[in-house]
Amino acid sequence: MLDKMILGRFVPLQSFVHQLDPRMKMIFIFVMMILIFLMNNWQSYAAGIILIFIILKLSNLSFLFLFNGLKPILFLLIFTFLMHVFLTKGGTTLVDYGIINIQSQGIIMGIMISLRFVLIIFLTTIMTLTTSPIALTDAIEAILKPFKKLKLPVHELALMMSIALRFIPTLMDETQKVMKAQMSRGSDISAGTIKQRIKAVIPLLIPLFVSAFKCAEDLAIAMEVRGYKGDVGRTKYRKLDWHKNDTLSLLTLIPITLLILYLKQ
């Protein structure tokens, strides 16, 4: 399942979304995340789902490919749904057996909150799938550039965020390799009681941490031998270019925002 983790991966395709400026994508995603948190009924969520499909079509990405990326976090979605089902009260009582009391409002809220997480994950995943890590780093640095006046290490923060995002699929692949190596030696974390599974995870975590620190050390040495000293005296080989399509795409946030605000009423 871990090999299906697609967050942080980049798929080089030729599409409208791929060609957009990464700064525009980040601003668009940030505003859309705020709008998703404002959704409070089925009409507004339906508008968000339709928008996701439109963006998928413009990015030449398959919905099935994006949906498979949800499998590693399926447990979190189920847990979120069940928490609302059992703890949120209101509406018609559906199940009342001892300490178990399930009401209609709990199911509705569980579906809505889980759907909210799915929409946010889809948007952020589409951004990483259509934007290279280098472009993301440049976009973060450009957006945070005004904070340099406040002595904020903008370049270093952008670099750390980009490296963290880039190492997500790397660590997932390494975890998959360690799991297969452990299973070939007779260890299976998917079988046995909960206590046995927890014990089986410990031999998995130790080599994973060792591998992570080794990758971090190799990266630090590689940057040091190449004379990396932050953004002091650095020039950029790739420069971000803002085009007409970026402006038009950003302007679409106005009708989208008005639509969501209208539907949530």
* Distances, alpha carbon 194 to alpha carbons 74, 89, 125, in Å: 18, 30, 31
What pLDDT, on the 0 to 100 scale, is given for residue 233? Answer: 63
Domain spans of the chain, in order of start: 1-131+236-265
Tokens of 65: 């490919």
- Give residue-wise pLDDT tens across range 114-129: 899 889 988 888 888 8
Strands 100-103 and 93-97: antiparallel
Q: What is the pLDDT of residue 187?
A: 66
**Comparing 72 with 105, which gets the higher pLDDT?**
105
Which of 169, 126, 200, 191 lies closest to 2 in space, CA to CA? Answer: 169
Q: Provide the total of helices (H) and of strands (E) in the chain, helices listed first.
A: 10, 2
pLDDT at position 31: 92
Residue range 131-179, pLDDT digits in tens: 887 788 788 888 888 887 887 777 778 778 777 777 777 777 777 777 7
**pLDDT tens-digit profile of 60-104?**
888 888 877 777 777 888 888 888 888 888 777 777 777 777 888
Least-confidence region, from 13-17, 95-99, 220-224, 244-248: 95-99
Contact status, residue 248 vs residue 24, Cβ threshold 8 Å: no
Tell me: the pLDDT tens digits for 203-232?
777 777 888 888 888 888 888 887 777 666
pLDDT above 50 for 180: yes
**Choice between 224 and 185, residue whose per-residue pLDDT is larger:** 224
Q: Which pLDDT value is given to residue 174?
A: 77
pTM exceeds 0.85 for this model = no
Interatomic CA distance for residues 245 and 17, integer angstroms: 10
For residues 251 and 193, which has the higher predicted lDDT (pLDDT)?
Answer: 251
Instruction: Provide the pLDDT for residue 7.
Output: 61
Q: Please report the pLDDT score of residue 225 as a whole number.
A: 85
Beta carbons of 108 and 91 less than 8 angstroms apart: yes
pLDDT at 256: 92
Provide the pLDDT confidence category of residue 202 given band limits of 50, 70 and 90: confident
